Amino acid sequence: MLCGLLTASCAVIEDSPNRELIKLERSDFRKLNGKFSNHPTTVERKIEREMVKSNYDSLTLWDQISNFKYNEQKSKVLTVTLDFASKRKIIARLWDSGELKQTKVVRGKIKDGYFYRRPHFIAIPLVPLVFGYDTYRYRIGLTTDAIIVDYKWNYWGFAIAAGSYSEGQNSATYEKK
Domain boundaries, the chain: 2-9+25-175
What pLDDT does 6 receive?
45
Q: Please tell me the distance from the alpha carbon of residue 167 to that of residue 11, in angstroms, as a whole number.
A: 10
What pLDDT does 132 receive?
86
- The DSSP H or E segment spanning 164 is strand 163-175
What pLDDT does 162 receive?
81
The whole-angstrom distance between residue 88's C-alpha and the CA centroid of its chain comes to 16
Going from the first residue of the chain to its last (177 residues), give the mean pLDDT of each consecutive group of 10, the final group possibly shorter. 47 70 86 92 83 64 78 72 93 91 93 89 78 86 93 83 83 92
pTM listed for this prediction = 0.81
What pLDDT does 156 receive?
81
Tens of pLDDT, residues 124-168: 877 777 888 888 889 999 998 999 999 888 878 878 878 888 888
Burial letters for 106-141: b for 16+ Cβ neighbours within 10 Å, e otherwise? bebebeeebbbbeeeeeeeeeeeeebbbbbbbbbbb
What pLDDT does 105 receive?
94
What pLDDT does 5 receive?
43
What pLDDT does 74 receive?
60
Between strands 78-86 and 146-159, the pairing is unpaired
How many other C-beta atoms can be found within 10 angstroms of the C-beta atom of residue 28?
13
